[in-house]
Amino acid sequence: MAVTEARARTLLGQRLGAAWQAVHAFFQREAVMGMTFVAPAFLILLVLVAYPFCMALYLSLTDAFVGRPGKFVGLRNFVALLQDSTFRQTLRNAFVFTGASVALKTVLGLMLALTLNQNLKCKRFFRGAVLLPWVIPSALGVLGWWWMFDSLYSVINWTLVHLGLVAPPGPNWLGRKDLAMIAVIMVNTWRGLPFFAISMLAGLVAIPQELYEAAATDGAGKLSKFWYITLPMLKPVLAIVVLFSTIFTMSNFEIVYVLTGGGPMNSTHLFATLTRQVGLESGYLGTGAAISLFLFPVLVFVVYFQLKLARRETL
């Protein structure tokens, strides 16, 4: 009896070992191993990106309301949005906000990168300090700006008044349509400037110093070196940085939401904030989903032309 039991255990162990070897050999295949490594990322994209996108697409074609399943209405939500003055204002806001912010970040980021590339004292400290606006929580940083723009306790107005540049009590930054847009652009520029500066600083460090030495031997000045060496060598990096910044800026939510909530009079609404207001606060899920999907073709259009430009610069 004991011999039979031992033989059974031996056979079981052999079968388990053979099964393990088969499984091991199966996952050792190159195609299977590759799919195994990609599977977690694919699952995350499926759950967090593909499913919400498909759900938004479905809702945008219905008249769904909170607590009530929607009926299929086709493209009626999209047509109604194009006739809505608030949405048209939001579309203009998105392009003004994105264009001005990206342009400012590009110019100021390049200037900051050139400064950080110099032989400065405490260079490592300054390079680390530049990253602070990028690494601190967005809402926390924007709340600080909200206090600085406050109509009664604004430190910006206090400074401008004591310098004699404006009359007391100073401008109402978040209460006027033109100044509110300037305020959100300023905060977005402050927030995204480190990304530009550090990315372009990496590009500057990668430029061979022999090029500058050869240019100096030929009598080239600082402006000529920048125009004919630095700028052309930075174009591939700059194209990619501008591409990512455009996507992040156009889909921005927290800056506008914390500072103005889309006001005054819808003058600072972006796609994300208007989607939240219509879809979540007002409960019109179908219309809110349609607003969010309007951002998709706009970003596809922008990304296509920027990738085309980036590919041309890298060739």
pTM, full prediction:
0.82
* Mean pLDDT for the stretch of residues 117-128: 76
Q: Could you give the CA distance from residue 198 to residue 214 in angstroms, rounded to a whole number?
A: 26
Quote the pLDDT of residue 17: 66
Spell out the domain ranges in the chain: 2-60, 89-314
What beta strand segments (E) does 41-191 contain?
none
Residue range 89-314, CATH number: 1.10.3720.10
Q: Kindly report the average pLDDT of the chain as a whole number.
A: 82
* Mean pLDDT for the stretch of residues 135-139: 82
Contact 187, 173 (CB under 8 A): no
Looking at the chain, the whole-number percentage of residues with pLDDT higher than 90 is 8
Select from 134, 114, 116 the least CA-distant residue to 126: 116
**Rounded (10°) CA dihedral 55, 266, 181, 141:** -60
- Per-residue pLDDT tens digits for 267-302: 898 888 998 888 888 888 888 888 888 878 877 877
Kind and range of the H or E element at 112?
Answer: helix 85-116
Three-state SS sequence of 253-312:
CHHHHHHCCCCCCCCCCCHHHHHHHHHHHCCCHHHHHHHHHHHHHHHHHHHHHHHHHHHH
pLDDT surpassing 90 at residue 248: no
- Range of lowest pLDDT (71-80, 84-93, 112-121): 112-121
